[in-house]
Chains A and B, each alone.
Chain A
Amino acid sequence: MPLDALTNASDDALLVLFANGDPKAALVLTHRLSPRVFAYGFRLLGDRNEAEDVAQEAMLRLWKVAPNWRPGEAKITTWLFRVVSNLSIDRKRRHHSRAVSLDAVADPPDGADSVEQTLQDKARSEALQTALLRLPDRQRQAVILRNIEGLANPEIASIMGISVEAVESLTARGKRALCKQLTDKRDALGFEDDR
């Protein structure tokens, strides 16, 4: 199948094509899914190398499960987020958490924003990342999935294997803890200038 046609295909359809031996399907799936998988892993772990290892392992598991994948039963992204969550928690238990490096968070894409605005966004993103890493694992997962990845609570519940009510409770507690950490930094990060 031509590459152009594949870029419009669903994740499920691409995984079936990969299971049937189409290498281009793997290419499209990799470019489509690996940045999200990596970003989620990075936000959970705060370490670029660890996040890349987790992303690679999660995608490897996807390739292996492809022949047995049942299209329509679960979303591939939901499945991947679940795998990344489990792998990241395992890694965090094995290693001490590490401080986020200033270069770890990517610059926002070029656009109309001024250099000052771009630097401010990066500083805010890094401040949030540092605060996220201080949250308990489950609260951090729930807040990232809800407020950064933008997933709905039922999907987060499926990823974390808990009820929707438990997700709501975790995000509420996580956000209150983040708020406490970040309120004092708002002036330093230029929030007063935004008003």
Chain B
Amino acid sequence: MTDKDQVDSVLEDFFAAARGASPKPSADLSARILEDAKIVRAERVHPGDLWRSKRRNVWSEFLWLIGGAPAILALSTAAIAGIWIGISPPDYMAEQVQSYLLGSGYNATDSFWAVDTLGGFTLSTAGG
């Protein structure tokens, strides 16, 4: 009997016993796997559900509701720009805002007649 044959003869009964007594998963495992399948299928129809299903806290719920990280970035940028303009407004803005708020004889239409819609053309040119 060769070394290989001897090894096989010792082990074959152990392997046979292992094949006959295969470990069985709990019933809960099937339920978990099928739940995952359901979520993955829903994810294909409604993207975002899989990610949403894993969320745990209020912050991530809020983040998801407003549109995620890009929305937070846009909101932050707008807020910072607003504060900056509030603290240090450009000169022309102060005049405009003041005239609108106080109504000091300034008419919104006043500014329109001064706009040169014809650029470098003269009236005579425009009239042909």
Chain A residues close to B by CB (< 8 Å):
18, 21, 23, 26-27, 30-31, 34-35, 38-39, 42-43, 48, 51-52, 55-56, 59-60, 63-64, 66-67, 104-109, 120-122, 124-125, 127-129, 147-148, 150, 172, 175-176, 178-179, 182-183, 186, 191, 194
Q: Which of B26-34, B58-66, B94-102, B103-111 contacts A (4 or more CB under 8 A)?
A: B26-34
Q: How far is the CB of B33 from chain A (nearest CB, A)?
A: 5
Complex CA distance for A178 and B10, rounded to whole angstroms:
9
Q: Which residues of B contact A129 (CB under 8 A)?
A: 18
Q: How far is the CB of A124 from chain B (nearest CB, A)?
A: 4
Let me know if A56 and B41 touch, CB within 8 A.
no
Q: How far is the CB of A48 from chain B (nearest CB, A)?
A: 7
Write 11 A-B pairs (CB below 8 A) sorted by A numbering.
A34-B29, A51-B25, A52-B28, A56-B33, A59-B33, A109-B20, A124-B13, A124-B17, A125-B14, A128-B18, A191-B13
Chain B residues close to A by CB (< 8 Å):
3-4, 6-8, 10-11, 13-15, 17-26, 28-30, 32-34, 36-38, 40-41, 44-45
Name which residue of chain A comes closest to B4, CB basis. Answer: A172
Let me know if A106 and B23 touch, CB within 8 A.
yes
Q: How far is the CB of A45 from chain B (nearest CB, A)?
A: 11
A35-B25, A125-B20, A175-B8 given; name 20 further pairs at CB < 8 Å. Answer: A18-B41, A21-B44, A27-B34, A34-B25, A35-B24, A38-B23, A38-B25, A39-B22, A52-B25, A63-B37, A64-B40, A67-B44, A105-B21, A106-B22, A125-B17, A127-B14, A128-B14, A128-B17, A172-B4, A179-B6
Name which residue of chain A comes closest to B24, CB basis. Answer: A106
Main secondary structure of the interface of B (DSSP, over half): helix
Let me know if B23 and A179 touch, CB within 8 A.
no
Given contacts A124-B17, A147-B15, A179-B7, contact A39 B36 (CB under 8 A): no
